[in-house]
Amino acid sequence: MRIIYSDTHKLHNPRFEIYDGKKTPMPEIAKRAEGVIKELALRRLGQIQAPAAFNISNIYAVHSRQYVNFLRRSSNIDAGEDFYPSYFISDTYAPLTKGTFQASIQAVNCALTGANCLLNGETLVYSLCRPPGHHAEHSSMGGYCYFNNAAIAANFLSTHGRVAILDIDFHHGNGTQSAFYNRDDVLFVSLHADPKRRYPYTSGFTQENGVGQGYGYNINFPLKLSTSDEEYLQILESAIAEIRLFEPDFLVVSAGFDTFEGDPIGGLKLTLSVYPKIAAAISNLNCRTIIIQEGGYNTEQLPHMVADFLQSFQPG
């Protein structure tokens, strides 16, 4: 398995988010990715490689030029300063620092480098993207996300075959859903906490099935907060069955680990032992797969969850 990682993510280092009008410590911190890459290296889970640079047109396929320019300009602030934008943003959870634009570009490059490996014959790639991406929409950042790494990778792959996206982050991937809502060549399937109860609140419901040509190609599985390992795995099988029916050439997994019961901001009733089982179930699809890192905020357990997950992922 290839592992794609760049330490440029460290340049994105906001100290706070605004929660309920108050500055609150940022849960999406550099230590998350640092802990993961260290554990993957320790377990020798694959060859770790730096991302290549890709043309910005890949980003323009998913995000507006105005938004990209805004993010570039807004990241042009003094080191050590946090900036809380009020334009091109969908909530109060996307603070900017001097390195945010650069780090976000490198996260996209990690995703695209991983996707490109699939085109070159690799069967399994893990892109350790930070910042995460699935909440970023066409013209807005939000939920610790700036560019939608998974959507950009999926769109890149879609010129070479049919793409299914499986989003298993605790939060609904509103940005990814909206990027492909009117398309029938990219299937979006998501398991996430009931949006009536948890962020992002306004999307992720069962009735959101796509529009026009895309109708039937967007499938949401909102979960009750009390969802156990067994219940989760059962619903995951339904999600996997939908993907199998679609017969994808490529699978993009938006992998968040904030479903863990010990996550400080998410948390269903999932235990550490479920992640290898989730991986085994998904890898039964036997599809060329790129796993893209999204959330997961228990910094102590995240490295173990990711490593256990990848270790059990064996596509044929």
DSSP string for 237-252: HHHHHHHHHH--SEEE
d(CA 308, CA 255): 13
The residues that bridge with 192 in the sheet, in sequence order, are: 222
Interaction between residue 175 and ligand SP5 (CB under 6 A): no
Handedness of CA 186, 189, 190, 196 (dihedral sign): positive
Query: By CB under 6 A, how many residues form the interface with ligand SP5?
Result: 17
Q: Does 303 bind ligand SP5 (CB under 6 A)?
A: no
CA distance 184 to 189: 13
Q: Which two tokens stand for residue 258?
A: 């904030």
Is 137 one of the binding residues for ligand SP5 (CB under 6 A)? no
Residue 12: closest CA among 126, 133, 134, 114 = 133
Q: Which two tokens stand for residue 286?
A: 């036997």
Using CA atoms of 31, 36, 41, 43 in order, give the dihedral in degrees to the nearest 10: 140
Told to check if 257 binds ligand SP5 by CB under 6 A, we report: no
User: Identity (one letter) of the amino acid at 256?
Assistant: G
Of 8-16, 34-42, 140-148, 184-192, the segment contacting ligand SP5 by CB under 6 A is 140-148
Among 2, 12, 63, 171, binds ligand SP5 (CB under 6 A): 171
Give the pair of three-digit tokens for residue 114: 């991983």
Q: Which stretch binds ligand SP5 (CB under 6 A): 64-72, 142-150, 203-211, 278-286?
A: 142-150
| Distance in angstroms (rounded) separating the CA atoms of residues 268 and 50 | 33
132 binds ligand SP5 (CB under 6 A): yes
Nearer to Zn ion, 122 or 194 (CB): 194
* 147 binding ligand SP5? (CB under 6 A): no
32 touching ligand SP5, by CB under 6 A: no
Q: Strands 16-19 and 186-193, how do they pair?
A: unpaired
Q: Candidates 14-22, 108-116, 206-214, 251-259 — which segment interacts with Zn ion by CB under 5 A?
A: 251-259
DSSP type of residue 49: E
Q: Does 260 bind ligand SP5 (CB under 6 A)?
A: no
**Residue showing the smallest CB distance to ligand SP5 in the complex:** 295
Tokens representing 312 are 């059990």
- The residue annotated as part of the active site, out of 9, 12, 135, 172, is 135
Residue closer to ligand SP5, measured from CB, 117 or 189: 189
Distances from the Cα of 57 to the Cαs of 54, 109, 155, 232, 261, in angstroms? 8, 12, 11, 38, 39
Shortest approach of ligand SP5 to residue 20 CB, angstroms? 8
| Among Zn ion, ligand SP5, none, residue 199 binds (CB under 5-8 Å by kind) | ligand SP5
Write out the binding residues for ligand SP5, residues 39-98 only, by CB under 6 A: 93
258 binds ligand SP5 (CB under 6 A): yes
**Is-catalytic flag, 135?**
yes
> Rule CB under 5 A: is residue 131 a binding residue for Zn ion?
no
| CA gap 221, 198 in Å, rounded | 14
Chain centroid, CA 247 distance in Å: 22
Which residues here bind ligand SP5, judged by CB under 6 A? 19, 24, 27, 93, 132, 135, 143-145, 169, 171, 199, 256, 258, 265, 294-295
Which residues are identified as catalytic?
Answer: 135
Binding region for Zn ion (CB under 5 A) = 169-171, 256, 258, 295
